[in-house]
Amino acid sequence: MVAGLPGNAGAYFLMDRATGSALTLTLWESEDAARASDEAAEKSRESTIAATGVQLVQRGRYEVVR
């Protein structure tokens, strides 16, 4: 779903199999694109939580520094 959003530059799903912890990282072409994705991301989170029972522990926004 994320790959089809305007301005998406990639996505990764990272998992620690030993603890069951996971992290989703999405990359965006600009801050504006990242902010525009927030509504779709919220809907995706809601459906993922409903389907899997996982719990969202923390959200954040970071800048890629070059």
Residue-level pLDDT at 8: 94
Closest CA to 20 of 59, 64, 55: 55
Q: What pTM was computed for the model?
A: 0.74
| Interatomic CA distance for residues 17 and 21, integer angstroms | 7
- What are the structure tokens assigned to 25, written together? 């990282």
Q: What ranges do the domains of the chain cover?
A: 2-52
| Interatomic CA distance for residues 52 and 4, integer angstroms | 22
| pLDDT above 80: residue 1 | no
Residue-level pLDDT at 29: 95
Give the model confidence (pLDDT) of 6-64 as tens digits.
999 999 999 999 998 888 899 999 999 999 888 888 887 888 888 888 888 888 888 88
